[in-house]
Amino acid sequence: MSHWPRRRVVVTGVGLVSPLGIGTEPTWDGLMQGKSGIGPLTRFDATDYPARIAGEVQGFDPLLYVTNSKDIKKSDTFIHYCLAAAQFAMEDSGFEIDDNNRDRVGVIVGSGIGGLPIIETCHQTLLDRGPSRVSPFFIPALIVNMAAGQVSIKYGARGPSSAPATACTTGLHAVGDAFRQIQLGFADAMLTGGTEAVLTPLAFAGFCSMRALSTRNDEPEVSSRPWDNDRDGFVLGEGSGILVLEELEGALKRGANIYAEIIGYGMSSDAYHISAPDPEGGGAARVMKATLEDAGITADSVGYINAHGTSTRLGDLAEVKAIKQVFGDHAETLAVSSTKSSTGHLLGAAGGLESGILALALKHQVLPATINLDNPDPEADLDFVPHTPRETSLEVALTNSFGFGGTNGALIMRRFDG
């Protein structure tokens, strides 16, 4: 890609919907207070399930973000969360889409699974009442690209639009792909991120059958514990993270508030297993190296990593091994934390949420903590920012996302000093 002129890309808006709160400020405040968004599962009766805890978005009213009540029935919850996060991001950025720029503004938003709740509901309707009673909005309510489609329609953004579906790397891939669209001149601004809402009986049954979820049902707030020796699996979460990205000159011209500059993006594959990571962290190491190369910086330039850190035995240690491979001696002084300890794992929305958190960390010069790290795994011996956030002097930070099928993504941001 060296023959392409590369434009600079900045984050000017952050919109978050998470188990810590509806909105960017309550989510960030929850992280700064070391809170957990994990609690007992209330979406259905989980009595017969091994795992009965989740990171639920509490008190969400879709009417505040969807045009009208009729439209709510035409779209599943993952779309509602996305519309809310996009609204927060647009309000935060102050960016306006009009007839002069709408052809140069795009939307890339992905989801790992899409509308599983409405699939389950409509399948039951089919069984109970027959095919004629299945909603005509069933398909457009569930397909993964409809979150991006609904955002594009709401704001009249007619530029590049797509929807990656790369499991738990989805949100990060979306942000990285949107970054490329602006960097290489195909767009001037993008709304981008991930969204997910699959706290359903079928999803829980599937993940429980894999023995992937924490069963610390009596202590939900301490169930997500990356790198802790007593961790027993990840905790399902839901929500959305959407960013507004802009080409630097345009952002400066309109006097935008700039959170951070995106300087590198990389992708790789483990090519190893459908669900387990390469235990030696090979794919994770390759994606971080590729992202450093794309950013044109050395490994010792990075001061903080917002890690994938899901709280699984294999995944946590594979990422630690990868960090040590890439950063060498610098890994001993590098700060690493997992905000999934507070939010749970938002699957396809995780990379969008955590990209937003990375931008906020650079803006506010504070590192979010890894909560619940009471008894560190002896094989995990990095600086995981345990228990409480840390004020810092941070210039460059990286975030990782890894997904089933061995798909990996990493993104590097730099503090913007004007």
Q: What residues are annotated to the active site?
A: 168, 308, 345
Burial zone of 296 (CB within 10 Å; 0-12 exposed, 13-18 middle, 19+ buried): exposed
Q: Which residues of 95-130 are buried (b: 16+ CB within 10 A; e: fewer)?
A: bebeeebbebbbbbbbbbbbbbbbbbbbeebeeeee
Helices marked H in 9-62 — which ranges? 24-32
- Round to whole Å and give the CA distance between 197 and 78: 5
| Cβ 119 vs Cβ 80: under 8 Å | no
For residue 75, what are the contacts with CB-CB under 8 A and spacing of at least 6?
66, 137, 140, 141, 146, 150
Ordered alpha helix ranges (H), 130-226: 138-142, 146-155, 170-183, 201-209
Name the 3-class secondary structure at 136: coil
Tell me if residue 29 falls in helix, strand or coil.
Answer: helix
Left (φ > 0), alpha (ψ -120 to 50) or beta: where does 61 sit?
A: beta
| Half-sphere exposure at residue 397, Cβ-oriented, CA atoms within 13 angstroms | 32
Number of CB atoms found within 10 A of residue 210's CB: 11
DSSP, collapsed to helix, strand or coil, labels residue 306 as: strand
- Rounded to whole angstroms, the Cα distance separating 346 from 237 reads 4
Query: What does the DSSP 8-state code read for residue 408?
Result: E
Q: Are 267 and 173 in contact (CB under 8 A)?
A: yes
Count of C-beta atoms within a 10 Å radius of residue 365: 13
* Angstrom distance (rounded) from CA 397 to CA 267: 17
- Whole-angstrom distance, CA of residue 370 vs CA of residue 305: 12
